Structure 1
Amino acid sequence: MTSTAAIPLADHALSERLTARLSLVEEALRDAVAHADALADDASRHLVNAGGKRLRPMLALLVAELGDGARREVIDAAVVVELTHLATLYHDDVMDSAPLRRGAPSAHEVWGNSVAILTGDLLFARASTTVAGLGPEAVRIQARTFERLCLGQLHETVGPQPGDDAVEHYLQVLADKTASLIATSARLGAMFAGCPPRTVDVVTAFGERIGVAFQLADDVIDLTSDGSLTGKTTGTDLREHVPTMPTLLLRARCAGPDATPADHALLARLDGDLSSDADLADVVAELRAHVVVEQTRARAVDLARTAVAELAPLPDGPVKDALVSFADALVDRAT
């Protein structure tokens, strides 16, 4: 069953239209991942069948309401961005050794790393086939987005270079790895609905800002929830020593004069062996209560407010209201 819950919609007529169109996207997604080869078919359907928020296609469908949202090209654009997102999840879970995704075993846990990586590649190929039908400009946008996704993962993997500010480096990773595709979702939705260039630019800028805020909120939720909101195992990033904003802020704090012995002790535990579930749970609980989590939440709130400010040129109405509500809900989920 499809739902518009990823973006709150107060307008009943708008909600009904988008629910119907999201059903079309869901149907097209299932067609797009189908393969004659049984293994490729099973592995490709794995995350589609697990569900998810469908945030990116919903954003594309919503901003398309600023133009002609009924165009078939809008549905295809929504399919492209979700296929691309799903492909990155297969790769991310291998690199992060994540055991769960959307509440189900990750693909690499079921079929192994090689099959999971190749399945991600297959989904990228299907996304490319779909976007080719939208014309050369859409292909260029998809290629630039793909480049940013890869650069974001690369820079996350190698980390900041000597002399780089680790926090700024991380924010750029989030902009490339997360916000780029959210911005592209908005851009393609508005473009193929026939919106004027100014409107396309406005919703793209909103997507860039809200994408970083979204990931910062996830950094908070990964520590403060039991995993039911994210569908992932709490503390996986800590166990794999993947940087997040709270850990980077703690590291920066420990490098300064105001750090306490407790700060240094917590950082030492974070840098140590967290293979034990009990040790991981203790560190998660300690970090959850630390000021750096509230500081991360505050950064997410500030970015969400900046994203809303980008919407000022849009006409007042249910679409703008829904985008503002989305920003508000994003902040609320991290509180």
Structure 2
Amino acid sequence: MSGTPAADAPSVIPGASAELTGRLLAGLAEVNTLFEGVLQSEDGFITEASGHLAGSGKRFRPLLTLLAAELGTGRDDQVVKAATAVELIHMASLYHDDVMDEAELRRAVVSANARYGNSTAILIGDLLFGRASALVADLGPEAVRIQADTFVRLCSGQIRDDRPCPDGVEPVGYYLDVLADKTGGLIATAARYGAMFAGCEPHVVEIMRRYGEQLGIAFQLADDLLDIAAESEQSGKTPGTDLREGVRTLPVLYALASSDPADARLQELLRSDLSEDDAGVEEALTLLRAHPALEEARRYTHAVAQEAQDLLTPLGDNEVTQALRTVAAGVVDRVV
């Protein structure tokens, strides 16, 4: 799959050259081949259940690994293994997330827990984590340590996300720390692995780790904004889902911190149980969409994405850094 790319290869990153696009597409094809092979089991049911959500992902994290590798010697078998392992970890987390959220759908596909039951969905998630660990074991002890730290952060972030902010802790800071762990950590590892296994200097690897973390936070902030701002299922879930689940995202936290008496009704709704209150969700969405908190959260989200881009300055201005900047801008362009 590593032959000369076609001149008209479809772009995976807007503005990227045909040559870079071709290399990234070839790398993604190798990742998909390995990914599908890893999902195979002697038991047909396990193979089926393991691959149930495989077609619903956008391969964002493997793409980032492959792009980061372009800062060094480019992709090889180690880079492809690392990219595949990252996607397996992400996929495993989706199985667990859907059980926790009692989700019925995952991007228009029946969720694994709805199809196979919670116990099987949890075990398939565990199995995918195991498959990822087997791949990373081939990459050396440092990669194993990084994966373990990433896994701990992902789980810690998810646990804290499922619990209210503790008394005496500043809510916005708590929320951002949760995002850094549950989303930023894995995307940071995706970028770090790409640079690391393409032979980049340690300072470049560290820049990519920090870039990936900021990118991940911006990515999640944008998704949270879309849950309020989108008029349809643009974000892959029904608008207002976070409100129904009592999740306090950045615009909600900003609105709750307001001292304006005119916000009393909105704050009452945001503090109430909206899980079975469709009218309340719609009213809260209407009020939030018109509230300055939404624009304030939007500005913050763009600032985080800009911080990710600014981290790339020491790496110069070239085709790869331009593509990395485009990726960072693209994750928040959805919430302009």
TM-score range, shorter chain: over 0.9
Q: Deviations over 1:105-156 (max 9, x none)?
A: 2211222222211111111111111111111110000000001011101211
Who is 2:313 aligned against?
312
Mean Cα deviation higher: 219-228 or 189-198: 219-228
Is 1:48 paired with 2:54?
Answer: yes
Q: Deviations over 1:11-66 (max 9, x none)?
A: 2110011011101111111111222223322221111022x221110000001011
Who is 1:18 aligned against?
24
Instruction: Provide the secondary structure at the position in 1 that maps to 2:238.
Output: coil
User: Do the aligned partners of residues 75 and 114 (structure 1) sit closer, same or farther apart at CA in structure 2, a change above 3 Å counting?
Assistant: same
Q: CA deviation at 1:9?
A: 4.4
User: Do the aligned partners of residues 89 and 4 (structure 1) sit closer, same or farther apart at CA in structure 2, a change above 3 Å counting?
Assistant: farther
Who is 1:329 aligned against?
330
Is 1:133 paired with 2:134?
Answer: no
* Larger RCO, structures 1/2 (Cα 8 Å, 6+ apart): 1
Who is 1:161 aligned against?
166
Mean Cα deviation higher: 95-104 or 20-29: 95-104
Who is 2:6 aligned against?
none
User: Do the aligned partners of residues 259 and 36 (structure 1) sit closer, same or farther apart at CA in structure 2, a change above 3 Å counting?
Assistant: farther
Is 1:59 paired with 2:60?
Answer: no
Q: CA deviation at 1:97?
A: 2.5
Q: CA deviation at 1:96?
A: 2.1
Question: Equivalents in 1 of 2:334, 2:99: separation in Å?
Answer: 27
Is 1:225 paired with 2:238?
Answer: no
Q: CA deviation at 1:274?
A: 3.4
Who is 2:4 aligned against?
none
Contact 1:100 1:233 in 2 (8 A): no
Q: CA deviation at 1:276?
A: 4.1
Question: Equivalents in 2 of 1:278, 1:135: separation in Å?
Answer: 54
Is 1:285 paired with 2:286?
Answer: yes
Residue from 215, 239, 242 that aligns with 1:234: 239
Is 1:267 paired with 2:267?
Answer: yes
Is 1:112 paired with 2:117?
Answer: yes
Q: Deviations over 1:159-204 (max 9, x none)?
A: 3221100110000000000000010001101111111111101111
Instruction: Provide the secondary structure at the position in 2 that maps to 1:46.
Output: coil
Q: Deviations over 1:201-246 (max 9, x none)?
A: 1111111111111111111112222454332222222111122112
Who is 1:251 aligned against?
256
Q: What stretches of structure 1 of length at least 5 have no aligned partner?
A: none
Question: Equivalents in 1 of 2:119, 2:239: separation in Å?
Answer: 25
Instruction: Provide the secondary structure at the position in 2 that maps to 1:234.
Output: coil
* TM-score normalized with structure 1 length: 0.92
Contact 1:10 1:322 in 2 (8 A): yes
Q: CA deviation at 1:326?
A: 1.2
Question: Equivalents in 1 of 2:143, 2:100: separation in Å?
Answer: 29
Is 1:77 paired with 2:103?
Answer: no
Who is 1:184 aligned against?
189
Mean Cα deviation higher: 89-98 or 181-190: 89-98
Contact 1:57 1:185 in 2 (8 A): yes
User: Do the aligned partners of residues 59 and 203 (structure 1) sit closer, same or farther apart at CA in structure 2, a change above 3 Å counting?
Assistant: same
Mean Cα deviation higher: 300-309 or 219-228: 219-228
User: Do the aligned partners of residues 40 and 227 (structure 1) sit closer, same or farther apart at CA in structure 2, a change above 3 Å counting?
Assistant: farther
Question: Equivalents in 1 of 2:83, 2:280: separation in Å?
Answer: 42
Question: Equivalents in 2 of 1:4, 1:125: separation in Å?
Answer: 33
Amino acid at match of 1:8: P
* TM-score normalized with structure 2 length: 0.92
**Percent of aligned pairs with the same amino acid:** 48
User: Do the aligned partners of residues 180 and 204 (structure 1) sit closer, same or farther apart at CA in structure 2, a change above 3 Å counting?
Assistant: same
Question: Equivalents in 1 of 2:233, 2:73: separation in Å?
Answer: 36
Contact 1:287 1:293 in 2 (8 A): yes
Amino acid at match of 1:78: A
Contact 1:25 1:75 in 2 (8 A): yes
Contact 2:188 2:208 in 1 (8 A): yes
